[in-house]
Amino acid sequence: MKTKLTILATVLLAGTSSFASAETLRWARAGDSLTLDPHAQNEGPTSALAHQIMEPLVIRDMTGQIVPALATEWAPSEEDQNVWFFKLREGVTFHDGAEFDSEDAVFSFNRAMSPDSDFKELLASVAEVRAKGKYGFEIVTNGPNPIMPSNLTNLFIIDKDWAEANNAVKVQDFEGGEDTFAARNANGTGPYKLVSREPDAKTVLTINENYWGKDEFPMEVTEIVYTPIQNAATRVAALLSGEVDFIQDVPVQDLGRVSSTDGLKVITAPQNRVIFFGMNQGDADLKGDNVDGKNPFAEKRVRQAMNMAINRDAIKQVVMRGQSIPAGVAMPPFVNGWTENLDEVPANDIAKAKALMAEAGYAEGFSIQLDCPNDRYINDEAICQAAVSMLAQIGVDVRLDAKPKAQHFPLINNLETDFYMLGWGVPTYDSEYIFNFLAHTKGEKYGSWNGTRFSNPELDAQIVRLASETNLEERNLMIANIWSVVQDEVLYIPIHHQVLNWGMSDKVDTIVDPEDTAKFKYFKLN
């Protein structure tokens, strides 16, 4: 049992804190965090809230560079190329006063590798983790893993004793609808502590007075009031009226209005995220179509035809008001493996698409349901509506079912959708992350977000081997080969690379994080 470092002086001096004045930042975005369990959902807004409360060993700063967090140094072992050693930060405490040490790192990593974890793909190459004294931590991999630190930037550490005391050792089964203590409560080492939480309504955080980094970061925001506002007009109105100070997802149709309002500004940058459609191409028959005994998506020519039918330039101009970058591959340009050739947008050729449909035996088309979120990506439902009209031109009659992300994502994870929208960011900045989650056969360690049912054992083997390839030239060749298969199979229909537009009060001083993760300890307030 670790000791609780409850320091009496902290209590006595609470009224004379180094944070002289309370600076509240009122934050809004379209959707809420899905859970506070740090290993249950690998999802952007969920990780964004977690980053305020909890910390990984290493983190990406607001520019995207990997910097120390709970680890101060890291390197492959000189004695064993299959081992990464991390020197842990000393003198760190969790919000309840418990001391952080290697015991917590070992516990958190083992938890993140468990079956219900949504982060297990990031650690698929890990054979074991072990403590090396109180402040040493080792990750042992099945073969060398040259990019291991890149896999850890969203892998949060929690207190082992706290988890055990609150029946939170097991990761929440989010897709199964489980509710747990860890889903509603948090005890991290991060710059902000949880004060209160009302899911889908309001979450309040306050400054961690004992934060190890209070002298290293601006830490000018001392209170955060986070309010999810799904309706775009209401969200913008809240910013315009001064009800909130910062929104991460300014609707493209309101950019001019916000930027021209006194006291407000919009800052824009490309996001490390691509938006695409997935199709169930693996089942023999689809439940949601009107074709008996067959699966139209199993025919590659149908997937090719649908890819041609999507007019990405029209979506960019009409739906996104110019605020998107049409995509030809389900990989953002930030990512190792991206090339201009891979990202070449297919021609919008309706005549050729119809011909392909006829060759595939679907000259009369078919009907199918498209599942789409309405509170996760910029204009997500509107993009899906546009796709419905475009696919109708080649005889694909699409019924749109749009719902909040908390209901949408389990459809993908539980294989309950045949046609769906998904957006994918790549926090590792490497193609391996995409392959592990989206291209490998869905199983215990890989493919948790592969709703396509695509399975290729030879490709799976290449993806697994990729993790231990240390020769950069060979590794990049392997990445290119895997992408060639993914593209040839039309595994996904890419739509566009998302562009970020953050709207905020003039008092807020920050840059846009390409991960769309506002890390408020870096923010300054004018």
Q: Please indicate, yes or no, whether residues 50 and 157 belong to a single structural domain of this protein.
A: yes
pTM of the model: 0.91
Convert the pLDDT of each residue in 121-139 to its tens digit: 999 999 999 999 999 999 9
Give start and end residues of each alpha helix (H) in 125-222: 160-165, 181-184
Q: Please indicate, yes or no, whether residues 517 and 486 belong to a single structural domain of this protein.
A: no
Residues listed for the chain: 526
> What pLDDT was estimated at residue 288?
87
Q: Please indicate, yes or no, whether residues 189 and 50 belong to a single structural domain of this protein.
A: yes
Residues 230, 231, 233, 238, Cα dihedral to 10° = -50
Per-residue pLDDT at 15 exceeds 70: no
Residue 519 counted as domain residue: yes
Coil, strand, or helix at residue 40? coil
Per-residue pLDDT at 18 exceeds 90: no
Q: What is the mean pLDDT of residues 326-354?
A: 98
For 36-191, list the strands marked E by DSSP.
58-60, 66-68, 71-76, 83-88, 126-131, 136-141
Residue 257 counted as domain residue: no
Closest to 468 (Cα-Cα) out of 122, 146, 79 = 146
- Residue 281's CATH number: 3.10.105.10
Q: What is the mean pLDDT of residues 349-368?
A: 98
Q: Which amino acid type is present at position 125?
A: S
Q: Please indicate, yes or no, whether residues 456 and 389 belong to a single structural domain of this protein.
A: yes
Phi, psi dihedrals of residue 207, rounded to the nearest 5°: -60, 140
Q: Which amino acid type is present at position 476?
A: N
Q: Please indicate, yes or no, whether residues 184 and 322 belong to a single structural domain of this protein.
A: no
> What pLDDT was estimated at residue 21?
56
Higher-confidence residue: 11 or 392? 392
Spatial separation of the C-alpha atoms in residues 462 and 482, rounded to whole Å: 7
Residue 355 counted as domain residue: yes
Per-residue pLDDT at 8 exceeds 80: no
Per-residue pLDDT at 448 exceeds 80: yes
Task: Provide the domain limits for residue 285.
Answer: 273-499
The tokens describing 270, both together, are 């490309």
Residue 165 counted as domain residue: yes
Convert the pLDDT of each residue in 153-163 to its tens digit: 999 999 999 99
Per-residue pLDDT at 10 exceeds 50: no
Spatial separation of the C-alpha atoms in residues 302 and 284, rounded to whole Å: 15
SS (H, E, C) 226-268: EEECCCHHHHHHHHHCCCCCEECECCHHHHHHHHCCCCEEEEE
Task: Give whole-number Cα distances, 402 to 331, 369, 382, 399, 475, in Å.
Answer: 24, 10, 10, 10, 39
Per-residue pLDDT at 2 exceeds 80: no
How are beta strands 136-141 and 126-131 bridged, if at all?
A: antiparallel
Convert the pLDDT of each residue in 455-514 to its tens digit: 999 999 999 999 999 999 999 999 999 999 999 999 999 999 999 999 999 999 999 999
Q: CB-side exposure of 20: number of CA atoms within 13 Å?
A: 1
Convert the pLDDT of each residue in 224-238 to its tens digit: 999 999 999 999 999
Assess contact for 112 and 437: CB atoms under 8 A. Answer: no
> What pLDDT was estimated at residue 7?
31
Spatial separation of the C-alpha atoms in residues 29 and 244, rounded to whole Å: 10
Q: Please indicate, yes or no, whether residues 457 and 519 belong to a single structural domain of this protein.
A: no
Average pLDDT, the chain: 95
Q: Please indicate, yes or no, whether residues 333 and 378 belong to a single structural domain of this protein.
A: yes
Residue 256 counted as domain residue: no
The tokens describing 477, both together, are 């060749």
Q: What is the mean pLDDT of residues 352-367?
A: 98
Q: Please indicate, yes or no, whether residues 218 and 287 belong to a single structural domain of this protein.
A: no
Q: How many domains does the chain have?
A: 2
The tokens describing 310, both together, are 């999507």
Residue 5 counted as domain residue: no
Spatial separation of the C-alpha atoms in residues 376 and 275, rounded to whole Å: 11
Residue 247 counted as domain residue: no
Higher-confidence residue: 222 or 16? 222
Convert the pLDDT of each residue in 62-81 to its tens digit: 999 999 999 999 999 999 99
Q: What is the mean pLDDT of residues 240-256?
A: 95
Spatial separation of the C-alpha atoms in residues 16 and 176, rounded to whole Å: 47
Which residues are CB-contacts of 219 (< 8 A; sequence separation ≥ 6)? 19, 191, 207, 211, 213, 521
- Compute and round to an integer the Cα radius of gyration of the chain: 23
- Residue 69's CATH number: 3.40.190.10
How are beta strands 58-60 and 524-525 bridged, if at all?
A: unpaired
| Res. 259 pLDDT band, cuts 50 70 90 | very high
Q: Please indicate, yes or no, whether residues 200 and 299 belong to a single structural domain of this protein.
A: no
Assess contact for 123 and 151: CB atoms under 8 A. Answer: yes
The tokens describing 447, both together, are 């493919």
Assess contact for 37 and 171: CB atoms under 8 A. Answer: yes
Q: Please indicate, yes or no, whether residues 493 and 511 belong to a single structural domain of this protein.
A: no
Q: What is the mean pLDDT of residues 391-408?
A: 98
Per-residue pLDDT at 366 exceeds 70: yes
Q: Please indicate, yes or no, whether residues 519 and 473 belong to a single structural domain of this protein.
A: no
Residue 141 counted as domain residue: yes
Q: Please indicate, yes or no, whether residues 221 and 302 belong to a single structural domain of this protein.
A: no
